[in-house]
Structure 1
């Protein structure tokens, strides 16, 4: 039976075998590979304006038959009610919590103040769970998983992050190993977004400060053949190249309708496959 919660689940039971606590309460990582889906917790933030994109992601995710835990942070009351009333058998094992930081229920466009307000809370949500000993894979709702990504989280790294245009980190797909140094990094990112007061989106905020922590935190930019940005997958790749994609990210295009049209054009939209299946009856 899947479990659902209207508020955050108490995290008293540390299940991450990569972590041990010494007698002085210092967190120590054993640096084991984190390429098993059970090593990770998927974290998403969703508002009602992008509920259909969340449904699309969930449909593709469930096809992979993974056992990874999923936490969804509802960013408005409408979607919180929708998810809490949904059929458990359709949602799978999911923890639903209501964000205490923001309440915006419409789809918002890139680089607007409301967009910056929504995404600016991202580091706080990631931080909440890193501090509870969970390795977090944060993903945007405008992604589609064609394969499981976990096998690519290898090497002696603290973060594995999608690249945007090959030159900057994309905060819409980032796997973060819990630990003192990564917690320090994400906390600094959170503080920077607070200081910016919604004048900048979270991705620019992250890229603007991450170099200050590179001596302590090792970051791996994911292979762009496997984790292409939108210009590669939608515009530049041929059908053969698209077969190598693990995660498709429908980013760098403004507007809900434009994203939807592009997913449908590439036959990556679940309603085209299931005639409008909903999360619940």
Structure 2
């Protein structure tokens, strides 16, 4: 990360966890996301959802192109710390899931996370195609290395989602992310989430981690939440975060949010 605008120094973020969590940890924490110009509308919608749950500080965004960096740097309604990545080879256009350029972009995310963890700073990484309906910070309590949601939670298969993860700055979490980066470098054509799941299936790596699997009814994936039958069955539970995944395409994602009144942009 080369340039930065807005917000305060990263070391000034040391009260986020204390203010929002019941954990006894003394470490600081930040919220981290990445974006490019094509996903700026989702980024703006995500930021609006943060404001609606009174999160207006300690938000770090890494822009993958200069236009996104310049646009986000104009905002003054929320305290953002904006970085422009050193590697600006990612196009500003929409990157379809699974394409080579898409994989190149998402596979940089573990390196960004690691840069904070090595400074002793916890990281809540979030995709920008999420909407936050409650402040999630109080849910990250306990002596865990990672709090993570799942895309698949079946008896035979239990796949984690790399798009919403709380990383504690522990040795075990750092070791996992280092192994993850090594695997990405060895297999650069495979996306980060697939490789993270490969690591989670390694019993030696998995047993070294203290993992809290987030309640899938509160941290909901797109396959479930946008199914009317699921929402009716779970109508007594208020979601914390809704992830608009399990679907491919920019405009169809927007329409999905609009259908449930979660698209906040005019």
TM-score past 0.5 threshold:
yes
TM-score (norm 2): 0.86
1:90-109 pair list within 5 angstroms: 90=77, 92-102=78-88, 103-109=90-96
How far does residue 104 in structure 1 lie from its aligned partner after superposition? 2.3
1:200-219 pair list within 5 angstroms: 200-210=190-200, 211=202, 212-219=204-211
How far does residue 155 in structure 1 lie from its aligned partner after superposition? 2.6
Separation in structure 2 between the aligned mates of residue 150 and residue 254 of structure 1, nearest angstrom: 28
1:149-228 pair list within 5 angstroms: 149-166=136-153, 167-197=158-188, 199-210=189-200, 211=202, 212-228=204-220
TM-score (norm 1): 0.81
Residues 62-103 of structure 1 deviation map (CA, whole Å, 9 limit, x = unaligned): 01113541100000111011112x131x2x111100111343
Separation in structure 1 between the aligned mates of residue 43 and residue 169 of structure 2, nearest angstrom: 25
How far does residue 121 in structure 1 lie from its aligned partner after superposition? 0.5
- Aligned to 2:219, what secondary structure does the other structure show? coil
Report if aligned partners of 2:4, 2:84 keep a CA contact under 8 Å in 1.
Answer: no
- Aligned equivalent of 1:73, options 62, 65, 68: 62
Separation in structure 1 between the aligned mates of residue 198 and residue 226 of structure 2, nearest angstrom: 27
How far does residue 56 in structure 1 lie from its aligned partner after superposition? 0.5
Residues 123-147 of structure 1 deviation map (CA, whole Å, 9 limit, x = unaligned): 0010011111110000001000001
1:130 — aligned with what?
A: 117
Separation in structure 1 between the aligned mates of residue 47 and residue 142 of structure 2, nearest angstrom: 28
Separation in structure 2 between the aligned mates of residue 250 and residue 150 of structure 1, nearest angstrom: 20
Query: Alpha carbon RMSD of aligned pairs, Å?
Result: 2.6
How far does residue 250 in structure 1 lie from its aligned partner after superposition? 0.2
Report if aligned partners of 1:35, 1:150 keep a CA contact under 8 Å in 2.
Answer: no
Number of positions where the alignment pairs a residue of Structure 1 with one of Structure 2: 251
Matched, 1:140 2:127: yes
Separation in structure 2 between the aligned mates of residue 79 and residue 203 of structure 1, nearest angstrom: 24
Matched, 1:83 2:72: yes
2:4 — aligned with what?
A: 5
- Aligned to 2:115, what secondary structure does the other structure show? helix
How far does residue 40 in structure 1 lie from its aligned partner after superposition? 2.6
Taking a change above 3 Å as real, the CA distance of residues 238 and 180 of structure 1, as seen in their structure-2 partners, is closer
Separation in structure 2 between the aligned mates of residue 205 and residue 6 of structure 1, nearest angstrom: 32
Separation in structure 2 between the aligned mates of residue 7 and residue 72 of structure 1, nearest angstrom: 11
Separation in structure 2 between the aligned mates of residue 34 and residue 82 of structure 1, nearest angstrom: 37
How far does residue 157 in structure 1 lie from its aligned partner after superposition? 1.1
